[in-house]
Structure 1
Amino acid sequence: MKKNIAIIMGGYSSEREISIKSGNVVYQYLDKTKYNAYRIIISTEKWIYLDDDNEEFPIDKADFSAVLPDGKISFDCVFNAIHGTPGEDGLLQAYFELLNIPQTSCNHYQAALTFNKRDLLSTLKPYGVQCATSFHLNLGETIDEAAILDKVGLPCFVKANRAGSSYGISKVHKREDLSDAIANAFSEDSEVIIESFLDGTEVSVGVITYNNEITVLPITEIVTENDFFDYEAKYLGKSQEITPARISKIQEENVTKWAKYIYKTLGLKGYTRSEFIFIGNDPHLLEVNTTPGLTEESILPQQANAAGISLEQLFGSAVEEALR
């Protein structure tokens, strides 16, 4: 009997439209001979099942079900394609864990930890993971620009601590631009992380559980036309994403080792994509994404393709791993 798969997309953050694109690609490629796929759109206003005629049916949050013309439908598994809150920060993971519904993403604690850049890097430092020097701010705190720049220097990156797709991020070259960059980051989140600039090759490393085995996908090198890998570079063609990356064998071995180590140490599952910058041969971690983009143009699907894994296989494996 075919399994009912809820593909959740949308969400409450600025990444909503990107998430819907990812979710629709999953819906397109998930094997319909094996699964009954349902598009579930989640927003602050409503949770709905959207059928192929764009007719909406409300989701009952008490048990995550929907009543359709031919009866009530429940779901055997949830395919999580939500970037940002509530699908990447642990909220929905905890909800589905309480309902005992299998899901393709990591568990709620790991999702909350990886979504919080400050806490993630602080957790991994004792394990030997290298990262940039950072300064942390909470909304309402006094901003001491001299103390910030004394610690991280210029240029530096000002980031919303809990946001993705480069929302709320700025590269600051001059002290007089720091205040506006902090305000921009606070427009996305109540926590801000300010990091020293790392001048080196940036790479993205996909680590997934595929056919019941932790698998490191071919590495992607990020070459941006802009000052950094910002929204335009990610989504509007202002960058090159080169897979496999043009890095040395020792660099490849080092970043592969650390990406897999982080995945195992944190107890992650499903898809992840970690971002690193090389200083010499040493990879420095920027962040870990646990619900990365899944469109045909997104980095993780590009990496899977380079590994000979089709989108149908990639998405089907995620469902089977969750059901397992």
Structure 2
Amino acid sequence: MITVGIVMGGYSDESLVSLKSGEYFYSQIDKTKYKVFKIHILKDGWNVIEEEQAYPINKGDFTFQLNEKKINFDVLLNTIHGYPGENGLMQAYWELLNIPYSGCSFYTSALTFNKRDTLSVLKKFNVSVAKSVYVNKGDQIDIDSIINEVGLPCFVKPNQSGSSLGVSKVKKKEDFMQALDFAFKEDKAVLIESFLEGKEVQVGVFKYKGEVVVVNTTEIISKNEFFDYEAKYLGASEEITPARISEKEDTYIKEAAAHIYKSLDMIGFSRLDFIIVNEIPYFLEINTTPGCSPASIFPQQVKQAGLNFSDLLDNEISLALQRFEKK
């Protein structure tokens, strides 16, 4: 029987969401096919959680001892949100240990976690994006020049963070520096983007049986200024699946999502965020380990499409094993 580790947690403020995603994976995976263990990667330690007992992971080879027996993992399902499981660090580590893992490669993970670099790459593939300016901590900040470039309102966001942590919508010049300081608490680099007036739509995409599948669209109606942490996880939003968009908009956004997924050489689950302006989908960001708690958007999209999440996890395991067999 294949031994599967479901890896969850992380070192960022998204860890609690990740733990819920991992528990959902555990509830959905077919335990008649696999021997399954829950793995918590947290700041205070790496442990396998088995019957409420914690068994330390040996970081030298990513194994653990259970009843005096060494347990090796045949494949890992990664559902860490944020650092260090969404930015390529864990993936590179598993690659060195030759342990198959789900989702995209360490390089694609690192690229897509960096908002600036992702936008730079996708511009070469003719993807529509907002105007943006990039600044580093310690730079001389010319507020007038930045506002002249992106306009007001604008979004100030950390270059590398998830769940909208550190993000602000700035309407007045006087609020700009406060928003910048807020973003710098999350990352030393900040992206400032123009505000796009339109409909926010999120799209689930994954590779299934050799094909790129665009699973569904979800319209986001936030009760706050934008789809922030509270709106995402604390109920301050309405999520409508499928999105209330025209047939033409539906075609455009699904084509754009598939194009971006392929252009970034993606594999595994993903959720792509767009703003539709005058029927044109403008790309915001891609999540390569999307939230998968029962309340999260990606599982809702899968369910709405009539797909079985257990089958998708089987597919992720197969993809991971096949990729490493080719090496």
TM-score (norm 2): 0.96
Any residues of structure 2 matched to 1:63-74 within 5 Å, and which? 63-74=61-72
The yes-or-no answer on 1:117 pairing with 2:150 is no
Could you tell me which residue of structure 1 aligns to residue 175 of structure 2? Answer: 177
Could you tell me which residue of structure 1 aligns to residue 136 of structure 2? Answer: 138
Q: 192, 195, 209: which one pairs with 1:194?
A: 192
Q: 234, 254, 257: which one pairs with 1:259?
A: 257
Distance in 2 between residues matched to 1:35 and 1:97, nearest whole Å? 22
**What is the Cα deviation at residue 70 of structure 1?**
4.3
- Partner amino acid, structure 2, of 1:73: I
Any residues of structure 2 matched to 1:262-301 within 5 Å, and which? 262-301=260-299
> Does the residue aligned with 1:39 lie in a helix, a strand or coil?
strand
> Does the residue aligned with 1:217 lie in a helix, a strand or coil?
strand
The yes-or-no answer on 1:14 pairing with 2:13 is yes
Could you tell me which residue of structure 1 aligns to residue 304 of structure 2? Answer: 306
Could you tell me which residue of structure 2 aligns to residue 32 of structure 1? Answer: 31
- Partner amino acid, structure 2, of 1:49: V
**What is the Cα deviation at residue 310 of structure 1?**
2.4
> Does the residue aligned with 2:291 lie in a helix, a strand or coil?
coil
Any residues of structure 2 matched to 1:101-112 within 5 Å, and which? 101-112=99-110
Q: Which runs of 5+ in 1 are unaligned?
A: none
Could you tell me which residue of structure 2 aligns to residue 88 of structure 1? Answer: 86
Could you tell me which residue of structure 1 aligns to residue 46 of structure 2? Answer: 47
Distance in 2 between residues matched to 1:21 and 1:38, nearest whole Å? 15
**What is the Cα deviation at residue 200 of structure 1?**
0.3
**What is the Cα deviation at residue 100 of structure 1?**
1.4
Per-residue deviation, residues 6-36 of structure 1 (Å, max 9, x unmatched): 1111111111111111111111211110111
Distance in 2 between residues matched to 1:87 and 1:260, nearest whole Å? 23
Distance in 2 between residues matched to 1:36 and 1:277, nearest whole Å? 42
> Does the residue aligned with 1:132 lie in a helix, a strand or coil?
coil
- Partner amino acid, structure 1, of 2:42: S
Any residues of structure 2 matched to 1:245-256 within 5 Å, and which? 245-256=243-254
- Partner amino acid, structure 2, of 1:27: Y
**What is the Cα deviation at residue 311 of structure 1?**
2.5
Q: 59, 62, 65: which one pairs with 2:60?
A: 62
- Partner amino acid, structure 2, of 1:291: T
**What is the Cα deviation at residue 211 of structure 1?**
2.7
> Does the residue aligned with 1:31 lie in a helix, a strand or coil?
coil
> Does the residue aligned with 2:225 lie in a helix, a strand or coil?
coil
Per-residue deviation, residues 206-265 of structure 1 (Å, max 9, x unmatched): 110123321101111111111110111111111111111111111111111111111111
Per-residue deviation, residues 63-114 of structure 1 (Å, max 9, x unmatched): 1100111400000101001000110001011111111111111001100110
> Does the residue aligned with 1:130 lie in a helix, a strand or coil?
coil
Per-residue deviation, residues 262-296 of structure 1 (Å, max 9, x unmatched): 11111110011110101111110000110000111
Distance in 2 between residues matched to 1:101 and 1:309, nearest whole Å? 28
Contact 1:304 1:314 (8 Å CA) reproduced = no
> Does the residue aligned with 1:123 lie in a helix, a strand or coil?
helix
**What is the Cα deviation at residue 309 of structure 1?**
1.2
Q: Which runs of 5+ in 2 are unaligned?
A: 323-327
Could you tell me which residue of structure 1 aligns to residue 220 of structure 2? Answer: 222
Distance in 1 between residues matched to 2:311 and 2:292, nearest whole Å? 13
Could you tell me which residue of structure 2 aligns to residue 239 of structure 1? Answer: 237
Contact 1:212 1:321 (8 Å CA) reproduced = no
> Does the residue aligned with 1:295 lie in a helix, a strand or coil?
coil
- Partner amino acid, structure 2, of 1:254: Y
Distance in 2 between residues matched to 1:202 and 1:168, nearest whole Å? 19
Q: CA RMSD for the aligned pairs?
A: 1.0
Could you tell me which residue of structure 1 aligns to residue 325 of structure 2? Answer: none
> Does the residue aligned with 2:178 lie in a helix, a strand or coil?
helix
Range moving further from structure 2, 182-191 or 313-322: 313-322
Count of residue pairs brought into register by the alignment: 322
Distance in 2 between residues matched to 1:162 and 1:172, nearest whole Å? 19
- Partner amino acid, structure 2, of 1:189: D
> Does the residue aligned with 2:256 lie in a helix, a strand or coil?
helix
Distance in 2 between residues matched to 1:211 and 1:51, nearest whole Å? 32
**What is the Cα deviation at residue 189 of structure 1?**
0.8
Distance in 2 between residues matched to 1:315 and 1:294, nearest whole Å? 12
Distance in 1 between residues matched to 2:301 and 2:27, nearest whole Å? 19
Could you tell me which residue of structure 1 aligns to residue 98 of structure 2? Answer: 100
- Partner amino acid, structure 2, of 1:44: K
Distance in 2 between residues matched to 1:32 and 1:75, nearest whole Å? 15
**What is the Cα deviation at residue 316 of structure 1?**
2.5
**What is the Cα deviation at residue 315 of structure 1?**
2.2
